[in-house]
Amino acid sequence: MKKLRGRSKVPMILGLIGGLIGIPCTLLSFKMTQAAGAEIAAAVQIYLYFAFVGCAIGLVFSFLAKRKPLLAGTMQLVAAACVGLSVIGSLVLNVPTFLLFLIGAVVTFAQEREVYQ
């Protein structure tokens, strides 16, 4: 049975950087909304959860970018969607994270794959 493996390390690096930037940005956004007041914190809380889950998914599945490129690309796209949803919910600190996950997913799908057994 033929197995495919990705050639490029770029999706893995972009996913790692996105996750390592996104988690502290999400935690900082959480602290900022708590300081702003209880009403704002309650309204933005669901977006914070989406951002945190998206960053965690992107970080974990970026390690699979070489071995299982289709799974890693799909999960980075899911992570970009979660973080993008939080950006719509006024968490502007996560814009770089969204872009890194999106570019990583596109590169994962566009890269050449090598066949190994």
Element (H, E) at 35: helix 10-36
Q: 25-34, 48-57, 67-76, 93-102: which range is least confident on average?
A: 25-34
- Average pLDDT on 76-88 reads 91
Helical pair 69-88 and 95-110, crossing angle rounded to 10 deg: 150
Q: Which amino acid is at 69?
A: P
Longest CA–CA span in the chain (Å) reads 58
Predicted confidence (pLDDT) per residue in 19-43, tens digit:
999 999 888 888 888 888 878 777 7
**pTM, whole model, 2 decimals?**
0.86
Helix spans in 1-117 (H): 10-36, 38-61, 69-88, 95-110
In the chain, the percentage of residues whose pLDDT exceeds 70 is 95
Looking at per-residue confidence, does 27 or 5 come out higher? 27
Give domain limits for the chain: 8-110
